[in-house]
A and B are shown apart, each in its own frame.
Chain A
Amino acid sequence: MAKLPVQFRLNGSERAGFVDPAGNLLDLLRRGLGDFGPKYGCGQGTCGVCTVLVDSEPQLSCLTLAISCEGKQIETASGMADGPNLHPLQQAFMDNFAAQCGFCTPGMLTAARALLTKNPNPTRDEVVEAISGNICRCTGYEPIIAAILAAAAGGAGMRRA
């Protein structure tokens, strides 16, 4: 099948690839561009481990057509840190023991980042709602919620998004 070109900014850098018309963004990021931050968990939009930001909106990359991302800004957990300096959310996840196996962590961080961008001072219910599409099978939700609230309290949403 003929491949189509697609070009976008990934974590601030200009990237391009050739994709099947029906190819999804997750495959392009992982297999095409080597960004293994977003994971494959279900391929049907139920687990949230593939969550990325498309123009600051959280999206499930397994359900996003790669060609629909032409000209967009894509951000993944791999690009959250500023060089050696962790994003406040990353630091809060570390401080609050908010990861066990780590497989859901990139998606959780991305969903939390989207929340704090829009709502720097979320309530606990708003945090729960924001990560309700992200499954953690080690069932460590409480530390994750605590980490997001701690990052918000520290001004994470104000400083950078």
Chain B
Amino acid sequence: MLEMRKEIFADERDDNLNVVGKGVQRQDMPGHVTARTRFFDDHAFDGLLHLKLVRSPHHHARIRSIDVSAAERAPGVKRVLRGADVPVNKNTLLSLINFGKDDEPTLAVDKVRYKGEPVVAILADSEAEALAARKLVRVEYDLLPTVFDVEEALKPGAPVVNETYPGNYFEYHQRFDHQKLRFGDVEAAFARADHVIEHRYQMSPIEHAPTETNGTIAAPDQNGRYLVHSCAQGLFFSLDTTAKIVNVPSNQLHFVGGTVGGGFGGKVDSLTEPLTVLGAMLTGRPVRYVLDREEEMLYGSPRGAERIYVKDGLMRDGRIVARYIRSYFDAGAYTRLSSYAAIKCTAHVPGPYSIPNVASDIYVAYTNRCPSTAMRGFGVTAVDFALECQMDRLAEAANMDPVEFRILNAYRDGDMKPHRRVAKNTALVECVQVAAEKANWPISEQARRASSLTGGGGERAQIPATPLDERGQIGRPDTRNGPATQTLPAGTTRIPLSKQPVFEGARDGKPAPVQVPRYEAPPRQNPPPYDPAIAPPSLQPAYQPAASAPPLPIPPAAPAQPQHGAVRFSSVFGTRRR
């Protein structure tokens, strides 16, 4: 089933691998086949209470009143929770790393911003009693105008979904309304290109639909702590989120989990943990809160829908000379992890292709939809789909075979990426060659001979002069369509910031610890002017340009240097192939 292509990159492969290429038994397999594996719900507790939610029936509405008196008197009901009962009723998941502002209540107080938003929690002796009491809660709403389209949400006069972000976009570093990438001059390249091709790609939200729905059981322990059986994919992430929301030191929470009945990204949001623990704290009894299938499908956060515009400048010979990507992430009503997805998307642009002029503007927009979250490559998978559809269309426009078109444009070792990092250990050419072979797809001798190790570097390693524009500061995007404001000289690796970024204190009104802004440019000399005749500036000490290296075959490895095989494959620490 698994085939190792040992002839590819043979010179840089170790054969002392103990696991890769072999079948190794999973350590949890005996538990799975004997049904002894304990998932979060596979625990019995005496006196277990069941928690059920009253959810918003509206997409966007102001809450006029909440009357829980009848529900509190209903048979079996032990406690009814409202927003005021939640100690810290505003949170954003990435506040744990000081990224973004708290924008989401555990139980809605003033407004509901999506259909299905939790408003009231009921704890009762049985699920049936909790469900019966749910019908007795009276919530009066004043309906508000809604917005469901990402581009509509960013227009002037659109309904404000989430008052924390009044422009309906996530504010990066409290200063920028999107993630921006600029490399070279796309406009000039479009003007020179033989074809300019633009298409729009629209994704749908996708529910993870794990066979095990989201849920938690929390029980008071004898030592003042709480035992929490959780479905969470990120157990400690969930522990810290819960500790913040219920406002206890994290060492009072004993999270047990890691056995997840299918997650795929849908179990990182701590949908159930905080309320379950709070219920156990306020009642002194074990509490179980499990989404039923309908809740999981409708209100479990999905993969966010993305709208992606790809505009390419193409030459008749098949080279892509410019690519501009404008993308909108539909975050739904709250941020969750969409802010991170847009960063991943930006890092993934322009796909695995060497393009000399690249620009992108990636927005996170708020709408009155269910908040979206992580799912298998979120931020990357959708843009990849758009890019590969686009590549097929470009190949057709260039009258080229789509496989050979990809080989022609693929990154080679030594190419400069738009993020101003040198491409290393690239292998798309070889992957496409093997895929073509497996599919019996005929390719030319020239395409068959292509290699990731040749053709890169040299001029392709240069950072071009790059015009900048004002788009990207806080303010409605349509008000900032001015001309380029300055041009960064060739070789510039970073854009100096004019202002220190600001982080707002998030927790308990206390100021957040002062962070060292990771994106602040370190002091350094001005870059040397671009001169193709000389080697690239010494900004990438680990990189050896192919132009100055001897032609193939690859030079022999340096004499015996003791090192572990895997180290050479690291693209993180800058080590590279022999």
The chain B residue with its CB closest to the CB of A138 is B262
Whether A36 and B262, one on each chain, are in contact in the complex, defined by CB atoms closer than 8 angstroms, is no
Contact with B along A23-63 (1 / 0, CB 8 A): 00000001100101101111110110100000000000000
Residues of A within 8 A of B (CB-CB), count? 38
The chain B residue with its CB closest to the CB of A136 is B211
Please indicate which of the listed interface residues B33, B213, B260 has the most CB atoms of chain A within 10 Å of its own CB. Answer: B33
CA gap between A139 and B128 in the complex, in Å: 33
Contact of A78 among B28, B30, B32, B35 (CB under 8 A): B35
Q: Please tell me if A124 contacts chain B, counting CB pairs below 8 Å.
A: no
- For B264, list chain A residues within 8 Å (CB): 137
Interface residues on B, range: 20 to 34
Contact of B39 among A47, A86, A103 (CB under 8 A): A103
- For B212, list chain A residues within 8 Å (CB): 39, 41, 49, 101, 103
- For A41, list chain B residues within 8 Å (CB): 211-213, 293
Smallest beta-carbon distance A109→chain B, Å: 7
Whether A105 and B32, one on each chain, are in contact in the complex, defined by CB atoms closer than 8 angstroms, is yes
Whether B211 and A49, one on each chain, are in contact in the complex, defined by CB atoms closer than 8 angstroms, is yes
Q: Please tell me if B29 contacts chain A, counting CB pairs below 8 Å.
A: yes
CA gap between A7 and B290 in the complex, in Å: 28
Whether B33 and A93, one on each chain, are in contact in the complex, defined by CB atoms closer than 8 angstroms, is yes
The chain B residue with its CB closest to the CB of A142 is B1
- For A44, list chain B residues within 8 Å (CB): 293
Considering only residues 196-241 of chain B, those with a C-beta below 8 Å from chain A are 208-213
Smallest beta-carbon distance A145→chain B, Å: 14
Whether A101 and B44, one on each chain, are in contact in the complex, defined by CB atoms closer than 8 angstroms, is no
Smallest beta-carbon distance A67→chain B, Å: 16
Contact with B along A108-119 (1 / 0, CB 8 A): 010000000000
Whether B38 and A40, one on each chain, are in contact in the complex, defined by CB atoms closer than 8 angstroms, is no
Whether A47 and B34, one on each chain, are in contact in the complex, defined by CB atoms closer than 8 angstroms, is no
Considering only residues 89-114 of chain A, those with a C-beta below 8 Å from chain B are 90-91, 93-94, 97, 99, 101-106, 109
Smallest beta-carbon distance B232→chain A, Å: 14
Q: Please tell me if B520 contacts chain A, counting CB pairs below 8 Å.
A: no
- For A101, list chain B residues within 8 Å (CB): 210-212, 260-263
Known: A36-B42, A39-B261, A137-B209. A97 touches B33 (CB 8 A): no
Whether B211 and A99, one on each chain, are in contact in the complex, defined by CB atoms closer than 8 angstroms, is no
- For A47, list chain B residues within 8 Å (CB): 211, 293
Whether A86 and B34, one on each chain, are in contact in the complex, defined by CB atoms closer than 8 angstroms, is yes
Q: Please tell me if B26 contacts chain A, counting CB pairs below 8 Å.
A: yes
Q: Please tell me if A130 contacts chain B, counting CB pairs below 8 Å.
A: no
Contact of A77 among B30, B35, B209, B211 (CB under 8 A): B35
- For A86, list chain B residues within 8 Å (CB): 33-34
Q: Please tell me if A153 contacts chain B, counting CB pairs below 8 Å.
A: no
CA gap between A80 and B293 in the complex, in Å: 28
The chain B residue with its CB closest to the CB of A46 is B293
- For B446, list chain A residues within 8 Å (CB): none
Contact with A along B20-56 (1 / 0, CB 8 A): 0001011011111111111101101000000000000
CA gap between A81 and B44 in the complex, in Å: 23
CA gap between A93 and B29 in the complex, in Å: 9
Whether B261 and A42, one on each chain, are in contact in the complex, defined by CB atoms closer than 8 angstroms, is no
Q: Please tell me if B11 contacts chain A, counting CB pairs below 8 Å.
A: no
Please indicate which of the listed interface residues A39, A43, A99, A102 has the most CB atoms of chain B within 10 Å of its own CB. Answer: A102
Whether B41 and A40, one on each chain, are in contact in the complex, defined by CB atoms closer than 8 angstroms, is yes
CA gap between A49 and B209 in the complex, in Å: 14
Q: Please tell me if A152 contacts chain B, counting CB pairs below 8 Å.
A: no
Whether A94 and B25, one on each chain, are in contact in the complex, defined by CB atoms closer than 8 angstroms, is yes
Please indicate which of the listed interface residues A40, A78, A106 has the most CB atoms of chain B within 10 Å of its own CB. Answer: A40
Whether B293 and A37, one on each chain, are in contact in the complex, defined by CB atoms closer than 8 angstroms, is no
CA gap between A20 and B32 in the complex, in Å: 31
Contact of A40 among B25, B29, B290 (CB under 8 A): B290
Contact with A along B533-544 (1 / 0, CB 8 A): 000000000000
Q: Please tell me if A76 contacts chain B, counting CB pairs below 8 Å.
A: yes
CA gap between A138 and B210 in the complex, in Å: 8
- For A91, list chain B residues within 8 Å (CB): 33
CA gap between A109 and B213 in the complex, in Å: 21
Whether A99 and B262, one on each chain, are in contact in the complex, defined by CB atoms closer than 8 angstroms, is no
Q: Please tell me if A135 contacts chain B, counting CB pairs below 8 Å.
A: yes
Whether A102 and B37, one on each chain, are in contact in the complex, defined by CB atoms closer than 8 angstroms, is yes
The chain B residue with its CB closest to the CB of A99 is B32
- For B34, list chain A residues within 8 Å (CB): 77-78, 80-81, 86, 90
The chain B residue with its CB closest to the CB of A107 is B211
The chain A residue with its CB closest to the CB of B208 is A137
Contact of A43 among B23, B30, B33, B292 (CB under 8 A): B292
- For A90, list chain B residues within 8 Å (CB): 33-34
Contact of B26 among A46, A97, A136 (CB under 8 A): A97
The chain B residue with its CB closest to the CB of A22 is B128
Which 9 pairs between the two chains have the least Cβ-Cβ distance? A103-B261, A102-B32, A37-B35, A36-B42, A77-B35, A42-B293, A90-B33, A99-B32, A106-B35
Q: List 10 A-B contacts (CB under 8 A).
A: A36-B39, A40-B41, A40-B213, A86-B34, A90-B34, A91-B33, A94-B33, A99-B33, A101-B212, A105-B32
Given A37-B35, A39-B39, 8 additional A-B pairs, CB 8 A: A43-B292, A86-B34, A101-B212, A102-B29, A102-B37, A102-B261, A103-B39, A105-B33
